[in-house]
Chain A
């Protein structure tokens, strides 16, 4: 395989994981109004769950399932413990997210040998860089995203969640239990992030409590890029950012990676402050 092809595949895989994280953030934001800045750390919890699972069952798919389940419960705990009490708290919500982020990071450090890197065993990832394995990763990312999309678009509760995202008061008037929908959005979005975390750990080839911090900015860049609340925007933004990061690392130097992310953030904030694909809401009669 040529270097170029390899880079394209790598970009797709990385983009798929970014997309899951950004969809999770943007979905949570549109239903609950909370921009959850610790979501990347939830992702890392997912990565550790996947790691621990694969010590017992050397199968990545099982790892993804367990990571998804545990982080779904973590999402519920995060809602009940913190954000439930912070309705209409404005910017304090961002502060709470940052605090939670450190809390998770520090706890993981305590639990996992001062944060010494761990990695999935050979039995799980084999020769992790083979094309077949990369395609498996991409397939898993797509499967998670597709399952979420089908749930959202086709099911009764998915519809109720979208109605809640559009307008809380109208949703209430139609008999939708809005508080339950907000709680559910925390569970689902955390589960999405957790599943993505298992995949991310494979791509990075190691896990530390700090890998969340590394991609937190990327995720925020992606949703600014795509427009807060827009799922197609999150997907396209993810692939654009992943591609530019992968190619910058290959052809320039990995130190340009962050520069590119921040450069894009600045460009978007200046030229398209509402994002490339922001949902137009002004039509509300």
Chain B
């Protein structure tokens, strides 16, 4: 469904991605793990058109996205839950959700009801300003908001960042639910446990290079990954 071919991204003099290739098949969950500064956020942004590719290609459902605007990519069915959740602080919870459905011409209300069903914790908060939410509530809101546009491919950038184990558990549950419902997921994470839990296939990114890939089991068996990313367990 999504293919990155030799993606290179440069910020001024620094090259953040040195030619990364990944493949996300339809209705699967793929994770990209890596330490701080590995280039995970840059990778997610390159799919959304928020950073310009220096070279390489991003292909979604068979067509090269080229220099397509971010808005147009959203309309094609790609959603990103950004790092830090992309808070819209002055909007209420419900307004955040409605604005998430901006690209939808019809059935916004039924989609809203559906999101409240999926994330019942948001319902009693609907009139509250988003800036007053806790980290866990905000993450659920950010995911629910991205789902308002009914994306075919959902990308999440470190959704478990700064969350308690319980809140991270809620995120995991929501992702599993989505996956079973057929949404394709690209998860970008430092939290290897969460990544291995949900993903069918995992890429390991290190300072802009794809250094390892495989299924969860294959990677947990690999000496290199165990030592670098799983605390040597």
Top-3 shortest CB links A-B: A175-B74, A170-B86, A175-B103
Task: Please give the distance in Å from B55's CB to the nearest CB on chain A.
Answer: 23
Whether B103 and A169, one on each chain, are in contact in the complex, defined by CB atoms closer than 8 angstroms, is no
Q: Contacts of B131 on A, CB cut-off 8 Å? A: 280, 283
Tally of chain B residues near chain A (CB < 8 A) = 31
Whether B149 and A284, one on each chain, are in contact in the complex, defined by CB atoms closer than 8 angstroms, is no
List chain B positions with a Cβ less than 8 A from chain A: 48, 50, 69-71, 74-75, 79-80, 82, 84-91, 95, 98-100, 102-103, 131, 135, 138, 145-146, 149, 162
Find residues 163-204 in chain A having any chain B CB closer than 8 Å to their own CB: 163, 165-167, 169-178
With both beta carbons as reference points, the residue of chain B lying nearest to A156 in the complex is identified as B102
A159-B95, A166-B88 are contacts. A172–B50 as well, Cβ < 8 Å? yes
Whether A166 and B70, one on each chain, are in contact in the complex, defined by CB atoms closer than 8 angstroms, is no
Q: How many angstroms between the C-alpha atoms of A178 and B71 in the bound complex?
A: 8
**9 interchain pairs, CB-CB under 8 A:** A160-B99, A166-B87, A173-B50, A173-B79, A174-B99, A175-B75, A177-B69, A283-B87, A284-B87
A interface SS class: helix
Whether B74 and A174, one on each chain, are in contact in the complex, defined by CB atoms closer than 8 angstroms, is yes
Among B69, B85, B88, B135, the one with the most A-chain Cβ atoms within 10 Å of its Cβ is B88
Whether A169 and B90, one on each chain, are in contact in the complex, defined by CB atoms closer than 8 angstroms, is no
Find residues 65-106 in chain A having any chain B CB closer than 8 Å to their own CB: none
Among B85, B86, B145, B162, the one with the most A-chain Cβ atoms within 10 Å of its Cβ is B86
Whether A176 and B102, one on each chain, are in contact in the complex, defined by CB atoms closer than 8 angstroms, is yes
Task: Please give the distance in Å from A196's CB to the nearest CB on chain B.
Answer: 24
Whether B162 and A166, one on each chain, are in contact in the complex, defined by CB atoms closer than 8 angstroms, is no
A156-B102, A280-B131 are contacts. A173–B80 as well, Cβ < 8 Å? yes
Whether B90 and A170, one on each chain, are in contact in the complex, defined by CB atoms closer than 8 angstroms, is no
Task: Please give the distance in Å from A227's CB to the nearest CB on chain B.
Answer: 13
Q: Contacts of A270 on B, CB cut-off 8 Å? A: none
Whether B91 and A162, one on each chain, are in contact in the complex, defined by CB atoms closer than 8 angstroms, is yes
Whether A167 and B87, one on each chain, are in contact in the complex, defined by CB atoms closer than 8 angstroms, is yes
Whether A283 and B102, one on each chain, are in contact in the complex, defined by CB atoms closer than 8 angstroms, is no
A170-B86, A174-B99, A177-B71 are contacts. A163–B149 as well, Cβ < 8 Å? no
Find residues 263-285 in chain A having any chain B CB closer than 8 Å to their own CB: 279-281, 283-285
A174-B99, A175-B103, A285-B162 are contacts. A163–B88 as well, Cβ < 8 Å? yes
Whether B99 and A173, one on each chain, are in contact in the complex, defined by CB atoms closer than 8 angstroms, is no
Whether A162 and B149, one on each chain, are in contact in the complex, defined by CB atoms closer than 8 angstroms, is no
Q: Contacts of B103 on A, CB cut-off 8 Å? A: 174-175
Q: Contacts of A284 on B, CB cut-off 8 Å? A: 84, 87, 89
